[in-house]
Chain A
Amino acid sequence: MEIFWILAIPLIGGLLLALFGCGRYAPELNSTMSFGTFLASAFLTVRVITDGPMTAFNEQFFVDSFNVFLVALTAFVAFTTSLFSRPYMRIEQAHGKLTVNMLRLYHSMYQLFTFTMLVALLTNNLGIMWVAMEAATLTTVLLVSLYRTPASLEAAWKYFILCGVGIAQALFGTILLYFAAEKVLGAGGTALLWTHLDAVKTQLEPTVLSLAFVFLLVGYGTKVGLAPLHNWLPDAHAEGPTPVSAVLSGLLLNVALYAVVRSKVLVDGALGSHLAGNLMMGFGLLSVVMAAFFLSRQKDVKRMFAYSSIEHMGLMTFAFGMGGAVATFAGMLHMTVHSLTKSAIFFAVGHATQKSGTQLMENIRGLITTNPTIGWGLAIGSLAILGMPPFGVFASEFLIITTAMHAYPWTTPFLLIALGVAFAAIFSRVQSMVFGETTDERLPHPPALVPVFAHLGLVLLLGLYIPPYLADWYRQAAALIG
């Protein structure tokens, strides 16, 4: 039942906002709908904690400890982002960057985007998962091009074409998977259900599955933003509205990675080798190193943090690729804390750019003197994302690197150098943005910074103390993924 509400609320919200989104209270309606979704996901979480994994609606939907925490995270970040977007988009409208109709499109698409991501997470059918991922691309294309500037149109076009091509590869992978599954499970609807596939994964044809995994990894990996298929990501993040950058980085990338990990479980079972893991480690490591070096050359603040997202997604992919209880645990923890921290940073950055009227870092100065809350938010968020203790990112990165040192010592220098470069680059830039001298005016509107500090508070909490039930979850999920 909770699953029904989780999916129904954003869908209804999307339709309602499409019809009545011109009204003055559209942002509030948007937040209310997101809150409803969050509430439903909280109930679902409670239920999964007490009753364990379950399927629903004729096995079409499926919840276990792995996807339930992502559902909760997605619903939570979608809710806080909608809180942030309420004043933020009003200010954008006041600046004349957006019209009423654009806002209507934005709100409606925001809800539908949440809907597609939740479908992708909850569905048991790998084919439907593909459909939902493609739909998530489609809904965000128009969000990225919302401002209709030449640069935003270009970014949206690139996003559509690259992700469209990528996701077409994933469809081919899904077809191959079905081809292998059909031999064991028989033709028809059940052969793509993940629970059924998981039960017979050792009988699946290894050659077909390894080929299928390559296509799935390339396909969904494009959406994760893995190098060398990451080109769309910085553009889409930099040119879209800030709330969209926040949900893209914080949520969509996670969902895509979720799809990759689900496929990996099946392939590992069929192959009995570490091929899938090795591939993921390779792509992950490449992404970490490449993103760190590109990151140091950015001038646009949103682009810089977009590259930081690529770096962190690479790190997670690497962690899941290594496999084993500790690394998988760390990967999931990193998913959570990265998602929270990065969206908080984008919130702060959004207000900072609104204040300065530019996204160029050299023109943003002295946030701490004019708007101390924005300044502190950005400073703390950056420290958190750079892996400073006592934040949660430190804990997960520490776990990943120590595991890597133990299992694959040769990778540690690459990881450490990349993290170091990223640290130096982001730290120096953020420092001048926060503390530099400025003649800028204060932001005339009160910024919406509750979500920033709520997220950062959670990240801090996760760094100091992981609640036992959460740790339990991670452990169960880690056992599941292997």
Chain B
Amino acid sequence: MNGILLQLFQDTLVVVIAPLLLGWVNQCRAWLQNRSGAGVLQPYRNLIKLFHKDAVLAHNASPLFRFTPYILFASMWLAAALVPVVATDLPLSPAVDVIALVGIFALARVFISLAAMDIGTSFGTLGARREMLVGFLAEPALLMIFFTAAAISQSTSLVTIVETLAHKQFVIHPSLAFAAIAFVMVLLAENARIPVDNPSTHLELTMIHEAMILEYSARHLAMVEWASMLKLLAYTTIGFALFMPWGIAEAGNWSALPVALIALFLKLAVAGAGLALLETLSAKMRIFRVPEFMGTAFLLAVLGLLVHFLHGN
């Protein structure tokens, strides 16, 4: 019973704090750029505003176009909810397989690309093509990163990985250093951050994610935006699970929950600030450099795996 409650709590938590994370990242960026910023709650206000508007749809929009925001939101919520954020032993835990996670992300990608091409505008098609370009390179890299962690803990279950890394004797794994860098690169690419994509412009030469969702408005747009916030949160928490799983609560242990929550918020604050710093320091790269960037991520992940086998532990 406690387990189900905890699961529900975690699922609600992620969906509520996802906009907060984005707001924090934007706020940090504003500070780093010497602006005062809109405050960490701005994404909530945006979402509320969008929900209050009337939706406008193109005449030739198919039902697929209308369903997609919900599918996106659902799959991202599922992904974010599956990742062990505050506790490990939850009713949904047996389902948390890293390969399944990659599959969920792929599902969302397929739908948003189809929806982008549905209306038939040139921007949508362009965005979809670019998204696929990034995706087909990011996915193997992500898998390789997961395999490195899985090789260490002998399991592809994210819960087992977290338990191995968090609650066993402390061991330094050099292979995880490679995987971590590769993971940050994949995170930047998959969440449409600088240097791969710039979430705050609509410049046709460079945009990827924004090009795909140009045709959406009101509640559909709100769902899409919320889904991408959830995606950012999911990726960040996967990163925590793989590379700094400390402080997470063990099965049914209510007393560890406050500590786990504080640890989570601290880690999110640090990660958000780090992400903002990274984005401020780097420049947007040309779209044709992106394959090179993703290729580097993939190779680093492979290297991590190799180093793991060399050290033989």
A and B in contact, CB less than 8 Å: no
